[in-house]
């Protein structure tokens, strides 16, 4: 007898839920919830994509930094030379000041 009462209770809950869905306000709330859920999912996917792209870039740069390829060593030396030239003063220390 107890299981029959439990089933009857669930049937009434189901019928009440269907009746509630017939109200305009409930349908509007569910539609708004669906839109917000889709928006948050889209934002989450964008953030996850950016995170994975950044981690991939980080791994690639780390791999290149540890690499001992000849062309990469030459590029590092060239970059160091350009940085050294950038630190040098444009005029010699004993030259006349600019007018």
Q: Flag whether 99 is in a domain.
A: no
Does residue 33 surpass a pLDDT of 90? Answer: yes
- Which range is most confident: 19-28, 72-81, 83-92? 72-81
**Least confident stretch, 20-24, 29-33, 34-38, 53-57:** 20-24
59 in a structural domain: yes
Q: What is the pTM of this model?
A: 0.51
Phi-psi region of 92 (alpha: psi -120 to 50; beta: other; left: phi over 0): beta
Q: Are 77 and 70 in contact (CB under 8 A)?
A: no
Helix (H) or strand (E) holding 7: helix 2-21
Per the domain annotation, does 34 fall within a domain? yes
| pLDDT over 70, % of the chain | 93
Report yes or no on 29 lying in a domain. Answer: yes
Q: Across residues 77-84, what is the average pLDDT?
A: 90
What residue numbers bound the domain in which 73 lies?
A: 2-87
95 within some domain: no
């Amino acid at each position: 007898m107890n299981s029959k009462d439990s089933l009857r209770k669930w049937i009434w809950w189901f019928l009440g839920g269907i009746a509630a869905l017939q109200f305009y306000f409930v349908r509007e709330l569910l539609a708004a919830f669906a839109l917000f859920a889709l928006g948050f999912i889209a934002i989450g996917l964008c953030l996850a994509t950016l995170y994975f792209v950044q981690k991939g870039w980080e791994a690639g740069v780390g791999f290149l930094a540890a690499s001992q390829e000849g062309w990469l060593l030459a590029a590092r030396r060239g970059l160091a030379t350009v940085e050294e030239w950038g630190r040098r003063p444009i005029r010699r220390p004993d030259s006349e000041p600019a007018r």
